[in-house]
Structure 1
Amino acid sequence: MTITIAHLGPIGTYTETATIGYQDWLHQQTGQTYHLRPYPNILQTLQAVIQQEAKLAVVPVENSIQGSVAITLDTLWELDCLKIEQGLILPITHTLLSHSPQLENLKKIYSHPQALGQCQRWLDKHLPQVELIATNSTTEALAHLAQETTAGAIASQRAAELYNTPILATNINDYPDNCTRFWVVGLEPKPQGSYISLAFSVPKNIPGSLVKPLSSLAKRQINMSRIESRPTKRSLGEYLFFIDLEGSATDSAVQEALVELHDCTSVLKIFGSYNVLFLLHDTEGSRHTET
């Protein structure tokens, strides 16, 4: 039976590139065949799993330059049944595409907000006059170029090849070490992994309300690789806290910490225990390293 994997589309997005790499790795591990199905936005991509249109979904969660993808975090909090089964990390190299032969002719640049943010300094230096317009994905941005000869789009070199669009500039990231982290999400929690992602709310917004949850980790020497707050959307000044831990859910110290976290938080949601797969794509295909 072929397993369907949903991903942020259309075809040619960085998320699809990460999904292809994950699919190749899975096939090497299991021999199973997979079908990739693109969705127009992150919310619909995650909902595809709940609606059983796909067994797994791949969505971006964090970029090394621009930070977290808020809609991914918010949706995972709201949709309780989703569980992280795998982490993916993909190097990102942005390319400026356009049918205009010269940079100075451009008046608009389309792309996903994350890509626009990751290239902000380059855009300010080379195209300070252009209007920046956000789209649901980097590939969706290309749809505007056929009708607008003075428009450009930030996308991947692979997208340029797939959609036969000329490249005006390459390697336009503000920083060379640009990577995006993705989560593979399903309905079946994995029994163990090297990382745990969770989120919680605190009973009251008072001094010290965050100290108790964090001290339950610190006193057991459990390292946090990420912590971030997001608004609860109920009241100004109320926040949720998203945390990534290094450790296995089978470790006794981690288990004790999770019990204590439950006792000192208002709502605690554990999104999953998982490993991380590093994806390296080149002209020879894809290579993988797992931790």
Structure 2
Amino acid sequence: MSISIAHLGPPGTYAEAAALAYCRTLTRECDSKAWLCPYPSIAQTLHAVAKGQADLAVVPVENSIEGSVTITLDTLWQLDQLQIQQALVLPIQHALLSRASRLQAIQTVYSHPQALAQCQGWLENSLPLVQLVPTNSTTEALQHLDTDYTAGVIASQRAAMLYQLPILAAAINDYPDNCTRFWIVGQQSSPGGSHTSLAFSTPANVPGALVKPLQAFAQREINLSRIESRPTKRSLGEYLFFIDLEANASTPLVQEALSEAASHTEILKIFGSYSVIPIDSTALIEN
């Protein structure tokens, strides 16, 4: 059996590294063969699975430094047919790739907005005058390096190996324990696991609108590991709430809590229960 896995491209992104790590788990667990399908944006990656153009998508959802990847949350809310199959936690170590002869020659630095933000302190100290240019992915702007010797790109060491580009500075993220959580998303039913993700909108912006659905979990001592609001995009001041539970949605206790929470919400969407797999840092440079 072969499986197609969509991810943010071009090749060399951290999403591709996460997808490759997931491929290794598939190989260990079954005889499945997987091939990777790069897409130019996270939204397009998720839409590809919703349309049946790919079997699974590997998308970033949360970084330990910069927090949630909002486009992933917003798109998942819009696409009702998708379910989380698994989560991966990938260590992230950024490098500055450039053909410049020295650091002081860099005038422009390109990268994904998350990567730029994760290296903000290093950039302010080492390259305080450079122009920062956001791109759709960490590898999208690598093409500039062949013609502009004053440009740099923040990307992975694996990207440097793939495209045979010099690393001018390594380990430039502001915090050494930088990591990103990725979701593996597909149309099949969620397999179950130690964590559950869901989101809901409230019927009205009134006192108690948020606390009532949350009490359904607190009263049953179900731990919430994350809660975050996102605008509904309908009206200023209206929000969706994304929640992670440390529990399996199929257990009777969680079923009770979900049923009670649903009675206090306008729309409740359960994205699935899944296990979380830590990935060794070698996944960034292997393959």
Q: Does the Cα contact within 8 Å between 1:109 and 1:133 map onto a contact in 2?
A: yes
Task: Find the counterpart in structure 2 of residue 154 from structure 1.
Answer: 154
What is the identity, as a one-letter code, of the residue corresponding to 1:235? S
Task: Find the counterpart in structure 2 of residue 289 from structure 1.
Answer: none
- Spell out structure 1 runs of 4+ moving beyond 4 A: 283-286
Asked if residue 13 in structure 1 is aligned to residue 13 in structure 2, the reply is yes
Q: Distance in 2 between matches of 1:82 and 1:100?
A: 44
Task: Find the counterpart in structure 2 of residue 165 from structure 1.
Answer: 165
What is the identity, as a one-letter code, of the residue corresponding to 1:157? Q
**Offset of 1:79 from its aligned partner?**
0.7
Q: Distance in 1 between matches of 2:277 and 2:2?
A: 22
Q: Does the Cα contact within 8 Å between 2:94 and 2:155 map onto a contact in 1?
A: yes
Asked if residue 50 in structure 1 is aligned to residue 50 in structure 2, the reply is yes
Identity among equivalent pairs (%): 61
The Cα offsets for residues 203-255 of structure 1, whole Å up to 9 and x where unpaired, read as: 11122211101111100000011000000111111100000000012221101
Q: Quick check: 226-235 or 183-192, which moved more?
A: 183-192
**Offset of 1:285 from its aligned partner?**
8.3
**Offset of 1:191 from its aligned partner?**
4.0
What is the identity, as a one-letter code, of the residue corresponding to 2:275? N
Calculate the aligned-residue CA RMSD, in Å: 1.4
Give unpaired runs (5+ residues) of structure 2. Answer: none
Asked if residue 229 in structure 1 is aligned to residue 210 in structure 2, the reply is no
Q: Distance in 2 between matches of 1:14 and 1:240?
A: 28
Task: Find the counterpart in structure 2 of residue 104 from structure 1.
Answer: 104
What is the identity, as a one-letter code, of the residue corresponding to 2:251? D
Q: Does the Cα contact within 8 Å between 1:3 and 1:33 map onto a contact in 2?
A: yes
Q: Distance in 1 between matches of 2:79 and 2:190?
A: 18
Asked if residue 193 in structure 1 is aligned to residue 193 in structure 2, the reply is yes
Q: Quick check: 58-67 or 205-214, which moved more?
A: 205-214
SS at match of 2:281: strand
- What TM-score, normalized to structure 2? 0.97
- What TM-score, normalized to structure 1? 0.96
Q: Does the Cα contact within 8 Å between 2:85 and 2:191 map onto a contact in 1?
A: no
Task: Find the counterpart in structure 2 of residue 2 from structure 1.
Answer: 2
The Cα offsets for residues 134-166 of structure 1, whole Å up to 9 and x where unpaired, read as: 111101121221122111000000100111111
Distance 1:13 1:272, change over 3 A: same
Q: Distance in 1 between matches of 2:45 and 2:196?
A: 22
Residues matched between the structures, number? 286
Counterparts of 1:71-150 in structure 2 under 5 Å?
71-150=71-150
Q: Does the Cα contact within 8 Å between 2:249 and 2:272 map onto a contact in 1?
A: no
SS at match of 1:176: coil
Q: Does the Cα contact within 8 Å between 2:61 and 2:73 map onto a contact in 1?
A: yes
What is the identity, as a one-letter code, of the residue corresponding to 1:172? I
Q: Does the Cα contact within 8 Å between 1:192 and 1:249 map onto a contact in 2?
A: yes
Q: Does the Cα contact within 8 Å between 2:157 and 2:285 map onto a contact in 1?
A: no
**Offset of 1:281 from its aligned partner?**
3.5
